[in-house]
Chain A
Amino acid sequence: MAQVPPMPIGPSAGVPGSVPNQLSIETTIDQERDLQQPGVKADELREAPEMGFWRLAVIRFLHHRVATGALLILGVIVLAAIVVPVITGDLYRIQDYRHPFKPPFQSFQHLLGTDDLGRDELARLLRGARVSIMVGALAMVGYLVIGGGLGALAGYYGGWLDNALMRFTDIIISMPFLLVVIAVTAATGGVRLSTVIIVIAATGWYEIGRLMRAQFLVLREQEFVQAARALGASNTRIIFRHILPNALAPIIVSATLGVSGIILLEAALGFLGYSIPPPEPSWGNMLNQFEDYLLQNQAYLVIFPATALVITALSINLIGDGIRDALDPRQR
């Protein structure tokens, strides 16, 4: 090892004893490049500060092989769910009484066979994927709007709102969710997908809310927030410009993992017959008659929707974990 005297890096490097001044990043890089640090390439130095937090996170995520694989699988499912039903149109509900229970992988016409009413199983699966994805996405938007908004306000302002949020959480936790949906469905007169989405969003937001609250509680005491306040920034500006971007990382992780929870909930409701009404298929209501299928020896009609559900939920969870590792590499 060559004897290299330790060389201070940074704006003050050139002028010893000077106060760190308001140098732009470019100037700093140029100075550092001039210094020609041993072992550090000038290119690296120039590139490092240009990579933002999010770009680094994306790179870290893509290095996570399992998570990237899960993202690919989920991408294929989502794409197929969006595109294929447009092409096949009404195929999912066209009944063919001459050919019920056609076994899978026998003919190209019905790749995954047909169900008890002779409907194409593959078309139904993909149509059902739409329901799952739509409910997952919409309810999560609901979580983020309600939970994120109230959590931020509760964490930032505290007081009665904070108390109310905590008590609400207590109530929700002690409520049997399935029975709530069923009671609401019955009271509003009929099984509707919108009811399911609204009830899930209205009762499930508390986790995001609590997380957001915790983030705001910590961040509002930080020095950069105090500095912003001292500079005369309004509360709105502090919340949206200073705290929110810093609070986002754990929220994104929780939201991703939450989507799989919502999809499983919707499926459980569909399974009980309380999600989207037939003939519209969902993975849950395709499993509704599982006992008949088992007794009639048509196991594939049970295996396909159940496995589709598990694969989707599992890939979303894996993606969520990948994002967590990417956003917070210390927490491995």
Chain B
Amino acid sequence: MTFYVIRRVAVGVFLLFLMSAMFFTLTRITPGQPVSVGENPRVHQEQVNRRLHRLGLTDEQGKPYSIPQQYVLYMGALAHGDLGDSYLYNVSVTTLLKQRLPNTALLLGTALMIALLIGIPLGIYAATHQYSKVDMTTSITSYIGVSIPSFVLGIYLLLIFAVFLKQSPLHWGFPLFGMHSGGVDDPLDLLYHMVLPVTSLTILEIAIFSRFMRASMLEVLHQDYIRTARAKGLAADKVNYKHALRNAILPIITLVALAIPQIVNGAIITEGIFSWPGTGQLAFQAVVDRDYPVILGVVMLVAALTVVFNLIADLTYAVADPRIRY
């Protein structure tokens, strides 16, 4: 087990290195410079040089570093928790990420909790009442949910609840744009702005979770030991919720842990659409502005999250299911 953990961590670190090298090269061979004199004649060449040096692109004399040199510098700084400076905002990427991360965590955490609280019971009910009305409705809805891309769902929600609802006699709807400056200090306003993005994320997640839970539960319900338990005359509820559920819920652990990086990834578009000031929107905006250090920072964050959650998924699975040995 210890050996397994060490090996997994080593592989994870290796993956991070590989990906950082790839992305770093890609962003650095991109034509164009973050600072140039031509755009503003009043900026002195010396100032430009100083700025380029600060961004880790040239040395003190203004001689440009080669890409491998830049990469070594970048990784050296990363070891101290420094992801470099944004080209656009005059702050470090770490500061930007720290500002945005709580908002993303709030949005994604809420959506994930709601999705789990609805999706899993729904999946269980659908499986124990196979071919019932609830099962059919769940299946069809989640089928459509999986076929709608997150940005289309977001746009539909805005269309219905931020545009049509406001034009209706109600004259009330949800806001078209993200958080107000009050932020976390104004809980009611925050909630009001959270409704649409959370709904958009939740619908997709419920679709995924309920489908998976249903399939997992059905598989367990068809196993021999369940039939034995039923044959012994155990109450249906006891068989379903005590014998079957315990085994059926195990794969969900992996699914959730694996879904988290995907959700962070998908949040890039959802946050962009709803102008939610999180890391996703930061990346969305960085893409529009071609602010490469920020893109690189978000990539590293997502990659690290994925590696960590993959590991957590495997380990919790091993703890939860004694049949699994490494």
Would you call B146 an interface residue if the criterion is a C-beta within 8 Å of the partner chain's C-beta atoms? yes
Would you call A164 an interface residue if the criterion is a C-beta within 8 Å of the partner chain's C-beta atoms? no
A273 neighbours in B (Cβ, 8 Å): 288
What is the 8 Å Cβ interface bit string for chain A, positions 177-197, against chain B (1 contact, 0 not)? 111101110110100000000
Q: Contacts A272-B287, A309-B152 given: A176-B299 contact, CB under 8 Å?
A: yes
User: How far apart are the CA atoms of A264 and B153 in the complex, in Å?
Assistant: 12
Q: In the complex, are the beta carbons of B162 and A268 less than 8 A apart?
A: no
Q: Contacts A171-B19, A183-B27, A187-B27 given: A310-B295 contact, CB under 8 Å?
A: no
Which of B224-232, B246-254, B303-311 sits within the interface?
Answer: B303-311
User: How far apart are the CA atoms of A180 and B152 in the complex, in Å?
Assistant: 21
Would you call A157 an interface residue if the criterion is a C-beta within 8 Å of the partner chain's C-beta atoms? no
A313 neighbours in B (Cβ, 8 Å): 147-149
Q: Contacts A170-B15, A174-B310 given: A182-B295 contact, CB under 8 Å?
A: yes
Q: Contacts A173-B306, A182-B287, A260-B147 given: A306-B156 contact, CB under 8 Å?
A: yes
Q: In the complex, are the beta carbons of A178 and B155 less than 8 A apart?
A: no
Would you call A314 an interface residue if the criterion is a C-beta within 8 Å of the partner chain's C-beta atoms? yes
- What's the minimum C-beta distance from B269 to chain A, rounded to whole angstroms? 6
Q: In the complex, are the beta carbons of B163 and A287 less than 8 A apart?
A: no
Q: In the complex, are the beta carbons of A176 and B268 less than 8 A apart?
A: yes
Q: In the complex, are the beta carbons of B306 and A268 less than 8 A apart?
A: no
In the complex, which of the residues A171, A268, A310 contacts B147, with contact meaning CB atoms closer than 8 Å? A310
Q: In the complex, are the beta carbons of B307 and A174 less than 8 A apart?
A: yes
Q: Contacts A182-B295, A264-B149, A313-B149 given: A174-B261 contact, CB under 8 Å?
A: yes
Q: In the complex, are the beta carbons of A309 and B265 less than 8 A apart?
A: no
What is the 8 Å Cβ interface bit string for chain A, positions 288-332, against chain B (1 contact, 0 not)? 001100110101001100100110011001000000000000000
Q: Contacts A264-B149, A294-B163, A302-B155 given: A174-B306 contact, CB under 8 Å?
A: yes
Q: In the complex, are the beta carbons of B287 and A187 less than 8 A apart?
A: no
- What's the minimum C-beta distance from A171 to chain B, rounded to whole angstroms? 6
Q: In the complex, are the beta carbons of A174 and B19 less than 8 A apart?
A: yes
B159 neighbours in A (Cβ, 8 Å): 294, 299, 302-303
Would you call B317 an interface residue if the criterion is a C-beta within 8 Å of the partner chain's C-beta atoms? no
Would you call B151 an interface residue if the criterion is a C-beta within 8 Å of the partner chain's C-beta atoms? yes
What is the 8 Å Cβ interface bit string for chain B, positions 300-326, against chain A (1 contact, 0 not)? 001100110010000000000000000
Q: In the complex, are the beta carbons of B306 and A186 less than 8 A apart?
A: no
A297 neighbours in B (Cβ, 8 Å): 163, 167
User: How far apart are the CA atoms of A189 and B26 in the complex, in Å?
Assistant: 11
In the complex, which of the residues B155, B272, B283 contacts A179, with contact meaning CB atoms closer than 8 Å? B283
Q: In the complex, are the beta carbons of B27 and A177 less than 8 A apart?
A: no
Among residues 248 to 272 in chain A, which have CB atoms less than 8 Å away from a CB atom of chain B?
260, 264, 267-268, 271-272
Which residue of B has the minimal Cβ distance to A263?
A: B149
Interface size on A, residues (CB 8 A): 40
Which residue of A has the minimal Cβ distance to B152?
A: A306
Which residue of B has the minimal Cβ distance to A186?
A: B30
Q: In the complex, are the beta carbons of B298 and A176 less than 8 A apart?
A: yes
Q: In the complex, are the beta carbons of A294 and B176 less than 8 A apart?
A: yes
A317 neighbours in B (Cβ, 8 Å): 143, 146-147
What is the 8 Å Cβ interface bit string for chain B, positions 234-275, against chain A (1 contact, 0 not)? 000000000000000000000000000100010011001100
User: How far apart are the CA atoms of A2 and B255 in the complex, in Å?
Assistant: 57
User: How far apart are the CA atoms of A303 and B164 in the complex, in Å?
Assistant: 12
8 A-B pairs with least C-beta separation: A174-B306, A183-B26, A264-B149, A314-B147, A186-B30, A187-B26, A176-B302, A306-B152
17 A-B residue contacts at CB 8 Å?
Answer: A170-B310, A175-B303, A176-B268, A177-B265, A179-B283, A179-B287, A179-B295, A182-B295, A183-B23, A183-B299, A187-B30, A268-B149, A268-B151, A297-B163, A309-B152, A314-B144, A317-B146
**B residues touching A (Cβ–Cβ < 8 Å)?**
11, 15, 18-19, 23, 26-27, 29-31, 143-144, 146-152, 155-156, 158-159, 162-164, 167, 176, 261, 265, 268-269, 272-273, 283-284, 287-288, 290, 292, 295, 298-299, 302-303, 306-307, 310
Q: A175-B302, A176-B265, A178-B265 are in contact. List 16 more A-B contacts (CB 8 A).
A: A174-B15, A175-B303, A178-B268, A179-B23, A179-B298, A186-B27, A186-B290, A187-B26, A267-B151, A268-B151, A271-B151, A273-B288, A290-B155, A306-B152, A306-B155, A310-B147
